[in-house]
Amino acid sequence: MSTIDKVMFVFPGQGSQYPRMGEDLYHSFETAKEIFERANDILNYDLVRIAFKDPDNQIGLTRYTQPVLLTHQVACLRVFQEMTTSEVTPVLSAGHSLGEYTALIVAGVLSFEDGLKLVSKRGELMGQYGQGSMLALPLTRDDAQLIAEKHGCQLATMNLLQQTVVGGKDSDIEKLEAAFAELYPRKKAVKLDTEGAFHTDLMKTAALAFKEILEQTSFAPSTMGVVSNYTAELHAGDGSATKNLLFDQLFKPVNWLGCLKTSLSFGIKTIIEFGGGIGKEPEPENKRPNLQSIIKKNFRAFDYPIDYYPAINLKTIEESAKSF
């Protein structure tokens, strides 16, 4: 394939970071090295040291997680583009939470510098003002909302038809978890490792502080469709609504399920995921894509065939690039 008009690029969010992330690309491609070194200069600290060595266990702190992940995602994309001579042109881009910023960079709405500065400040504020916790429930949106609201919690993320994340104060989440176990003894709720109840009202203070930064940022017209986490609809093509959507995204639910449903109306046939990785093996080459399972489960539920390719490390980028 040389010219494809039904491709969507996607980018994962927090939780897909790991030590040594990007190390393989940095030492193999000058393109990737330049991205990481540029990030160092923009942020005025050694992001490369945190990403590769993480001697002080900082990569899991939101203020560092977010810029490290965004930098890795952009590096993966640039190496993929180099390998495919930029012949794979997406019509849509989307990102899960933090990943929405990378999607906006790819679409030309944000520069790499502005996007990196935004997520650096976003992560700092989320860590500073973060409170509460998050719980993933194997329930529909409606069922999750019902039990959450009974215990003073809120919807935070809709990932699958049968997977919804809720957030709230620690004490309320504990009560909700106990109630869930009693109501659904055969199902398992999973507590997420975060610095707060992201995408709920407990992030409102952080969002208000972040709004001041957004007001100082320039948003350019988009070169492709970018799907909003909050509305599951496209950002305005002229960039005029983006600052408000990013403000809302901090304390409103991420509708990832809705974002993928939106892609159906564009006839998307191929999805490529860039950056991050999950799994216990420490080597980058052994990491698995963060969003792959969610994407494939959703499209099976939609009864809609899709081609999926990971581009999250040197190994998967090389393998996926051969398909184009």
Which residues are known to be catalytic?
Answer: 97, 199
Please give the Cα distance from 97 to 255 (Å, whole number).
9
> Considering only CA atoms, which of 206, 64, 66, 60 is closest in space to residue 132?
206
- In single-letter form, the type of residue at position 148 comes to A
- Please choose, from the candidates 113, 117, 108, 98, the residue with its C-alpha nearest in 3D space to the C-alpha of residue 275: 98
CA distances from 51 to 84, 193, 290 (A): 26, 19, 17
CA pseudo-torsion sign 217, 113, 86, 269: negative
Q: Are the beta carbons of 206 and 130 closer than 8 angstroms?
A: yes
SS3 category, 133:
strand
In degrees and rounded to multiples of 5, residue 13 shows phi and psi of -110, -165
